[in-house]
Chain A
């Protein structure tokens, strides 16, 4: 299952609200997760099962979608949110990731 994230990169300012889209080549039920990765660090789980927030993740992060189209929204961007974001499908093997969306400070 191929995952396509858009955009591949994004420039935004602190306080902005942004949305990243992840499209799957076929239906993946609710087996969709989102990760944040900062340079030199391991990925960090943000959202699982499309919209469930992982413990300790700020509520400004939210996920939605169904079937083949999913979104990650970050409300009121904070300086620590500038990173790369990946979607991931765990509906079937091979598990796949989107190509990533790099969120940069404008």
Chain B
């Protein structure tokens, strides 16, 4: 069974840093690109960052570029999101998700349960 379990969220002050982790199991982690998506409670979904299976290609949303760093450890089946210079508008539920390519098109086929990050003084 595919499982993605996020950890590391919580309350942080503006300007502070936080590291989110996503522990993967039930599939060949090193064979899949991975991604982070966030959602302000009650609002829509926003893609944050993606990393390919070998960590060679990495992409960020403009809203987090230069402040967030996505990384992975294939030996530990773990995905991370290092967040710095946090702002109030980074407050959201953060989901990690697995990327799969099916019929030649990518999709986010499994999602973690979500982890709330609150940026407030």
From A49, A94, A97, A98, B107 is in contact (CB under 8 Å) with A49
Q: Of B45, B59, B103, B106, which one neighbours A43 at CB under 8 angstroms? A: B45
The B-contacting residues of A in range 82-100, CB under 8 angstroms, are 86, 88, 90, 93-100
Do B105 and A31 touch (CB < 8 A)? yes
Bound form: Cα–Cα A20–B107 in Å = 19
Q: B114 — which chain A residues lie within 8 A by C-beta?
A: 42
- Chain B residues within an 8 Å CB radius of A50: 105
Contacts of A49 in B (CB 8 A): 102-105, 107
Q: Does A48 contact B45, Cβ atoms closer than 8 Å? A: no
Contact present for B105 and A30 (CB under 8 Å): yes
Q: Is the CB of B104 within 8 A of A30?
A: yes
Residues of A within 8 A of B62 (CB): 94
Q: List 20 A-B contacts (CB under 8 A).
A: A37-B45, A43-B45, A43-B108, A44-B111, A48-B106, A48-B107, A49-B102, A49-B105, A49-B107, A54-B107, A54-B109, A88-B108, A90-B107, A93-B59, A94-B47, A94-B62, A95-B35, A95-B47, A99-B44, A100-B44
Residues on B lying within 8 angstroms of A by beta carbon are: 35, 37, 44-47, 50, 59, 61-62, 95, 102-114
